[in-house]
Amino acid sequence: MKKKSSPPAEHGRIPRKHPRVQLLTQVESQTSGATSIGRTENISQGGLLVYTRETFDASTNVIVRFNLSPGRLIEAQGKVVHVQVGVQMGIQFSQVTDGDRKAITEFVREACE
């Protein structure tokens, strides 16, 4: 079986640690004082990209809630790692239950096949 290789990193960019796959679903991102509703663009074992008008500052700790598949709600703690203000934010997972992590890993694996 051939291993899939990652494309070369763009100049000045660090290659991704985890493969990303498309996931289009509503996501709620919550901080201690605010809530943002948006939609995911993609997901990996390490985090997700969220399109929303209500972005948070980089380094903000958040709780995200979204449906990975029908009936499979994921709730995870994360940190905003990059922001395009008023457009999108990248969230890196920092704490995910074992069951949710396993579900995300399986979702990504199946989407890569």
Read off the CATH number of the domain in which 93 is found: 2.40.10.220
> What is the residue range of 100's domain?
21-112
Is residue 65 assigned to a domain?
A: yes
Is residue 6 assigned to a domain?
A: no
Is residue 41 assigned to a domain?
A: yes
Is residue 107 assigned to a domain?
A: yes
Is residue 2 assigned to a domain?
A: no
Cα angle 87, 110, 99 (rounded to 5 degrees) comes to: 80
Per-residue pLDDT of the chain (113 residues; tens, 9 = 90+): 333 333 444 445 455 567 789 999 999 999 999 999 999 999 999 999 999 999 999 999 999 999 998 889 999 999 999 999 999 999 999 999 999 999 999 999 988 87
3-state secondary structure of 5: coil
Is residue 1 assigned to a domain?
A: no
Phi and psi at 32, nearest 5°, equal -65, -20
What global pTM score does this model have? 0.82
Is residue 14 assigned to a domain?
A: no
pLDDT value of position 5: 35
Number of domains in the chain: 1
Q: Are 39 and 28 in contact (CB under 8 A)?
A: no
CA–CA separation, 56 and 40 (whole Å): 15
pLDDT value of position 12: 52
The tokens for 104 are 């995300």
pLDDT value of position 6: 39
pLDDT value of position 8: 43
Which residue do the tokens 């598949």 mark? 69
